[in-house]
Chain A
Amino acid sequence: MYKSTLVQLSAALESKEISSEELTRLYIERCKKHNDLLNCFITITEEKALKKAKEADKKRASGTHSKLTGIPIAQKDIFCTNGTKTTCGSKMLDNFIAPYDATLVKKIDDAGFIMIGKTNMDEFAMGSSNETSFYGPVKNPWDTCYVPGGSSGGSASAVAARLCPAATGTDTGGSIRQPSSFCGITGLKPTYGRVSRYGMIAFASSLDQGGPMTQTAEDAALIMNVIAGFDKYDSTSTEEPVDDYTAKLNNSIKGLKIGLPRQYFDKNLNSNVGALIDDSIKELEKLGGKCIDIELPHTELSIPAYYVVAPAECSSNLSRYDGVRFGHRCSEPKNLSDLYCRSRQEGFGKEVKRRIMTGTYVLSAGYYDAYYLKAQKVRQIIRSDFQNAFKKIDIILGPTTTGAAFKLNEKLNDPISMYLSDIYTVSANLAGLPAISIPSGFIGKLPVGMQLIGNYFQESLLMNVAHQYQKMTDWHQKIPQSYE
């Protein structure tokens, strides 16, 4: 039962094969059993979940339920959940009980999902390996010597090990897609503005987006139907009408023009990853897709541009963590300066401090034009590159990551190397485009994903192609041996 997708669980609950309470207990037991090793969860909300599960069963009994009522889900600990600890993976918020619900959380609750816990993550969403969390690193269930990816590593690991059937994540430079690739699950980053950021603790405001991390594209579509939409509390959320993301899943992709960026398939591409992508291309061609070579000439500049914009925005977003109104406050501050400097020194980890320093520098007097403004211009160019490409093709295909997961501690002291591995993912954030990573094979015993990037608001198309691919392949159904 715990290997079921959301679609299957919905059916099982409907046919009374299992109750919500039983289902919730099942997952919570799995969480408690495996969390010591995997460390996916910072908080497991057993009591609240069971209470909600019982209510869900009552609703189902009285016929006032909906399709998704009573299905357990995990929330990345970056979303504010009213009355529940919300830490963002940081000591700074170790004592923070969120006094309100994020819009995304409200929507998921209203749809009937049962939150069973808050997942571990890189501190303040900064990282690509989930090794920077105050609560310790998360392990990749495929091989616990390896990282699950980050920053949504807890969510990815939990879904991969089937500790929950689905989870939420956030993606600023690849933080949904990269861990999805490393853990063998499906992860979607929606178009910027598609999902409300209200209550989603901010890292880089112009890049962040929340999205589903699931076993299948079909499940992702179900969650998108719940979370997508305009929010009056988020000025950057779009009023663009919301699709029924499940409606087009079964459309044929015959004649679909699939762009292959030359810059993604150059000599730097890991040959193992390349081989898997080639196989995937063949599958899509069998379905009628047509591959066309395209250029995304400024792909390389996406890394420096990202590593200016993201730290700059985060350095400002994290100024509110000053120990005054909430969060960690140092003991016996001598004066105001001491209060600020020591609280922040104690509360933030190394990577966060590094990015705050970088961001403060690039925004400081005399450097704004050379760095921040320049990066925003490079962003414009990258966006144009994509727009030009989309004139010729419908969808872009490429690798999600430069390889399979790396070992724990391998890149911790080499931040630049870590940054460079984001090469395939950050462009979509810079341009605000939707992108999905789906399992496409293994290198050794570690999974690797491939990425599809769509034009603005083309999430339906992305999930359509992904779903068609998943009908032809079974990578997404594989579960790490220890968690079968």
Chain B
Amino acid sequence: MSLDKSEIQKIAWLARLGIDKDDIASYCDELTDILNLMEQMNSLDTTEIVPLAHPLEVFSRLRVDNVTENDQRENFQADSSKTKDGYYIVPKVIE
């Protein structure tokens, strides 16, 4: 199971990770090694097994519907380099 350049680029884009062209080859190798490690799991037949999502097999507690948080904008926007007039500012997004 080996990954090629275009797959690496596709994954990097999905994860919005900029990667240098020079690094693509090493990512190919490293990820391929890791995936080969994972192949070991195929030695086990798990068709009848229920996947374990949580170690403790319990169900969710439900929170009562009340407003418990107040306006903390000033505290959260203490780093003002990213905000203007209370908004978070990003380069213009065209829809």
A and B in contact, CB less than 8 Å:
yes
Using a CB–CB cutoff of 8 Å, the interface residues on chain A facing chain B are 95, 97, 99, 191-193, 206, 232, 235-236, 238-239, 298, 300-301, 303-305, 307-308, 315, 319, 322-326, 329, 333-342, 344-345, 348, 353-354, 356-358, 360-362, 364, 371, 373-381, 383, 415-416, 419, 430-433, 456
| Residue picked from B3, B55, B56, most chain A C-beta under 10 Å | B55
CB of A337 within 8 A of CB of B82, answer no
Known contacts A360-B11, A376-B52, A419-B37, A324 near B90 by CB under 8 Å: yes
CB of A304 within 8 A of CB of B91, answer no
Chain A residues whose CB sits within 8 angstroms of the CB of B75 once the complex forms: 99
> 1/0 contact trace for B52-72 toward A, CB 8 Å?
111110101101000000001
List 10 A-B pairs, Cβ < 8 Å: A239-B61, A322-B16, A324-B88, A341-B18, A357-B15, A360-B15, A374-B46, A381-B49, A383-B55, A415-B30
**Selected contact of A356 from candidates B17, B46, B92, CB within 8 Å:** B17
Apart from the given pairs A307-B34, A348-B17, 11 other A-B contacts in the complex at a CB distance below 8 Å: A99-B72, A191-B55, A232-B63, A319-B15, A324-B82, A326-B82, A337-B16, A345-B17, A358-B31, A380-B52, A456-B56
Chain A residues whose CB sits within 8 angstroms of the CB of B42 once the complex forms: 374
Chain B residues whose CB sits within 8 angstroms of the CB of A456 once the complex forms: 55-56
Known contacts A99-B78, A206-B54, A379-B51, A371 near B31 by CB under 8 Å: no
How far does the alpha carbon of A419 sit from the alpha carbon of B37 in the complex, in Å?
10
Using a CB–CB cutoff of 8 Å, the interface residues on chain B facing chain A are 3, 7-8, 11-12, 14-19, 27, 30-31, 33-35, 37-44, 46, 49-56, 58, 60-61, 63, 72, 75-76, 78-79, 81-82, 88, 90-93
CB of A361 within 8 A of CB of B31, answer yes
Task: Kindly list the 7 A-B residue pairs having the minimum CB-CB distance in the complex, ordered from nearest.
Answer: A432-B55, A345-B18, A376-B51, A341-B18, A340-B16, A377-B46, A380-B52
CB of B12 within 8 A of CB of A95, answer no
> Shortest CB–CB separation between residue B72 and chain A, in angstroms?
7
CB of B82 within 8 A of CB of A357, answer no
How far does the alpha carbon of A335 sit from the alpha carbon of B92 in the complex, in Å?
7
Chain B residues whose CB sits within 8 angstroms of the CB of A433 once the complex forms: 55
CB of A378 within 8 A of CB of B31, answer no
Chain B residues whose CB sits within 8 angstroms of the CB of A376 once the complex forms: 51-53
> Shortest CB–CB separation between residue B1 and chain A, in angstroms?
10
Known contacts A357-B15, A381-B46, A416 near B90 by CB under 8 Å: no
> Shortest CB–CB separation between residue A33 and chain B, in angstroms?
33
> Shortest CB–CB separation between residue A366 and chain B, in angstroms?
11
How far does the alpha carbon of A282 sit from the alpha carbon of B38 in the complex, in Å?
38
CB of B55 within 8 A of CB of A193, answer yes
How far does the alpha carbon of A304 sit from the alpha carbon of B91 in the complex, in Å?
40
CB of B88 within 8 A of CB of A380, answer no
Chain A residues whose CB sits within 8 angstroms of the CB of B53 once the complex forms: 206, 376
Chain B residues whose CB sits within 8 angstroms of the CB of A315 once the complex forms: 15
Chain A residues whose CB sits within 8 angstroms of the CB of B27 once the complex forms: 354, 357
How far does the alpha carbon of A105 sit from the alpha carbon of B62 in the complex, in Å?
25
How far does the alpha carbon of A378 sit from the alpha carbon of B72 in the complex, in Å?
44
**Selected contact of A341 from candidates B17, B58, B88, CB within 8 Å:** B17
How far does the alpha carbon of A433 sit from the alpha carbon of B52 in the complex, in Å?
14
How far does the alpha carbon of A360 sit from the alpha carbon of B35 in the complex, in Å?
12
Chain B residues whose CB sits within 8 angstroms of the CB of A95 once the complex forms: 79
> Shortest CB–CB separation between residue B56 and chain A, in angstroms?
5
How far does the alpha carbon of A186 sit from the alpha carbon of B53 in the complex, in Å?
29
CB of A300 within 8 A of CB of B40, answer yes
CB of B91 within 8 A of CB of A336, answer yes
Closest to A298 in B: B44
How far does the alpha carbon of A260 sit from the alpha carbon of B92 in the complex, in Å?
61
Chain A residues whose CB sits within 8 angstroms of the CB of B14 once the complex forms: 360, 364
CB of B15 within 8 A of CB of A373, answer no
Chain B residues whose CB sits within 8 angstroms of the CB of A419 once the complex forms: 34, 37
| Residue picked from A303, A345, A430, most chain B C-beta under 10 Å | A345
Chain B residues whose CB sits within 8 angstroms of the CB of A371 once the complex forms: 38
How far does the alpha carbon of A376 sit from the alpha carbon of B33 in the complex, in Å?
21
Chain A residues whose CB sits within 8 angstroms of the CB of B82 once the complex forms: 323-326, 329
Known contacts A192-B55, A333-B91, A304 near B44 by CB under 8 Å: no
> Shortest CB–CB separation between residue B61 and chain A, in angstroms?
7
How far does the alpha carbon of A178 sit from the alpha carbon of B44 in the complex, in Å?
28
How far does the alpha carbon of A170 sit from the alpha carbon of B46 in the complex, in Å?
31
Chain A residues whose CB sits within 8 angstroms of the CB of B76 once the complex forms: 99, 325
CB of A336 within 8 A of CB of B93, answer yes
> Shortest CB–CB separation between residue B90 and chain A, in angstroms?
6
> Shortest CB–CB separation between residue B19 and chain A, in angstroms?
7
> Shortest CB–CB separation between residue B6 and chain A, in angstroms?
13
How far does the alpha carbon of A327 sit from the alpha carbon of B60 in the complex, in Å?
32
Chain A residues whose CB sits within 8 angstroms of the CB of B34 once the complex forms: 307, 354, 358, 415-416, 419
> Shortest CB–CB separation between residue A83 and chain B, in angstroms?
10
How far does the alpha carbon of A238 sit from the alpha carbon of B12 in the complex, in Å?
37
| Residue picked from A298, A304, A348, A354, most chain B C-beta under 10 Å | A304
